[in-house]
Structure 1
Amino acid sequence: MPREAPYLAVAELLRTRILGGEWEIGQRLPSRARLAVEYGVGRNVLQRAMERLIVDGLLEGRTGSGTYVRTPRERLRLVRSRHRERSGPPSSAILKERGRADAWDADSLIRVPAPEAIAVRLDVNPGDLCVRTHYEFLAGGQPVQLSESWEPMAITEGTPIALPEAGPLAGTGVVERMRSIGVIVETVVEVPRPARATQAQANLLGVSVGDLVLQIERTIYDTSGRPVETADMVIPDARREVVYEFGVDRP
């Protein structure tokens, strides 16, 4: 059996001490140099051990100050379910229980040329004009999700719904907006992938660089199979637990 990497062994020893309450939440740990001497390892080994615990959400580094025991964050459950949505808008109590955002900021740009990867997802030509919208979603004042949405202008240009967060149907979602111009949404495809937060994502979500996030690539299709919107969503694992719910067709 291969021997466990030294930094992993040190990380587990530190994890046991942290979970055992040796250091309280918010308390600064001893210096890395001191801990390296205590465990009889090099500073680079201790550094990697602490980085592992930062990624795992037990510690947080503060520039110029040190490393601290991280405050646990409540994880809201976010249920992604087409089955439930058919029954009508949920009550505010259900929204809170399911981890839905209660506020959001949105910034749209029009006439943005579609990059090649987005063009493939939208089944348009690279460079075709789109509306790109950046979203930051909040729940209880805390950032819980980022999203970048792309819609082909060939579908919405010149209509009242050209901008997702402006006009008479602002904020109602893709399905309702498209229905208002005679485009009926039939299928939503989501591809979830685990990832680590980039610097930009960490800054917006209030998490640490390298924290676990769930990236969801979503594409929405109308009844003819034409993509009408595609989006990339980023959800911090420390804040949200994502659950997929499927209805069962009855005979």
Structure 2
Amino acid sequence: MSGEAAFRRIADDIRRRIGAREWAPGQALPSRANMAREYHVHEQTVRLAYNELRRDGILDGEKGRHVTVAHPPAMRTLTDVDAEWPYATETTDTRPRRASDDLAERLGVAPSTMLQHATVECLEPGGRSAMLVLSWWRGRRRNHASYAAELGVARLGEEHAHALGLLVDAMAYRVVRTRLDVHGAPVETADLLLPMDRWTIRL
């Protein structure tokens, strides 16, 4: 069995054992050395399994130290799609890109117009990603007077699924938010991607 297959198998088994309440939320798991002996693998393989489970929000703890079973994520309710995120954020992509037909229609520009872009990861106090905000605008960012929002769902590709700690092709809420100036013209549009297991939407 390859190293990659082994660490994924171990990660899946640890998930099963946590689900069976072998370890409770907040309880430390055995050390990597002990787990390596139990699973008959190298410590590095256990480290990879722990890292994957940490990324997926199953485990908490710093690299190189004991890890604990994470408490279930808090459910949040989205009521104002234009509110500032109250915790830390991380901007992960600012590459300009050309407007697709959809973005061109949302912003009232010609297709292939060069747009400014930002992908912002909104983080929970514990550091786990709560949602992604992908924004596009033309020229300088301008103030807005109002906004319009539409709720739907989206199937996540590899990049966005990885950022949110979800499986590729998982479904997430997708809120399309378009900010408008005083005349009702669009100045910015955004996709808010929210994991369905962490959010309730009330617009």
TM-score bin (small chain): 0.5 to 0.7
Is 2:86 the counterpart of 1:76? Answer: no
In structure 2, distance between residues paired with 1:219 and 1:22 = 41
Whether 2:158 is the aligned partner of 1:199: answer: yes
Larger radius of gyration: 1
In structure 2, the residue matched to 1:41 is none
Aligned residues: 142
Structure 2 residue aligned with 1:108, among 60, 83, 94? 94
- Does the 8 A contact of 1:218 with 1:232 survive in 2? yes
| TM-score computed with the length of structure 1 as normaliser | 0.48
Letter of the 2:106 partner, please give it: R
Q: Deviations over 1:202-230 (max 9, x none)?
A: 21111223444101111111121210001
Q: Does 1:232 align with 2:191?
A: yes
**Which residue identity is paired with 2:173?**
L
Letter in 2 for 1:77: R
Q: Where does residue 20 of structure 2 map in the other structure?
A: 23
Aligned to 1:220: 179
Which residue in 1 is equivalent to 2:202? Answer: 243
Distance 1:133 1:239 in 2: 23
Corresponding residue number in structure 2 for 1:51: none
CA distance in structure 2 between the aligned counterparts of 1:23 and 1:115, rounded to whole angstroms: 47
| Cα pair 1:75 1:238 within 8 Å, conserved | no
1:148 aligns to 2:147 (yes or no): no
- Give TM-score scaled by structure 2 length: 0.58
SS in 1 for 2:145: strand
CA contact (8 A) 1:75 1:241 kept: no
Paired residues of 1:101 and 1:144 also in contact (CA < 8 A)? no
In structure 2, how many angstroms separate the alpha carbons of the residues matched to 1:207 and 1:72? 17
Task: Say whether the 8 Å CA contact 1:212–1:237 is kept in structure 2.
Answer: yes
Of 101, 119, 136 in structure 1, the residue corresponding to residue 121 of structure 2 is 136
Secondary structure (helix, strand or coil) at the match of 1:109 reads coil
1:104 is displaced (CA, Å) by 1.2
Structure 1 position 72, deviation (Å): 6.6
Q: Partners in 2 of 1:126 and 1:134 — Cα distance? A: 21
**Structure 1 residues 239 and 146, CA, compared in 2 at 3 Å: closer, same or farther?**
same
Q: State which of 91, 96, 103 in structure 2 corresponds to 1:118.
A: 103
| Residues 148 and 232, structure 1, Cα contact 8 Å, conserved in 2 | yes
CA apart distance, 1:145: 0.7
Q: Deviations over 1:143-166 (max 9, x none)?
A: 01112110111xx2xxxxx5xxxx
Partners of 1:132 and 1:103 in 2: CA distance: 19
Q: Answer yes or no: is the 8 Å Cα contact 2:78–2:199 preserved in 1.
A: no
Q: CA deviation at 1:191?
A: 1.0
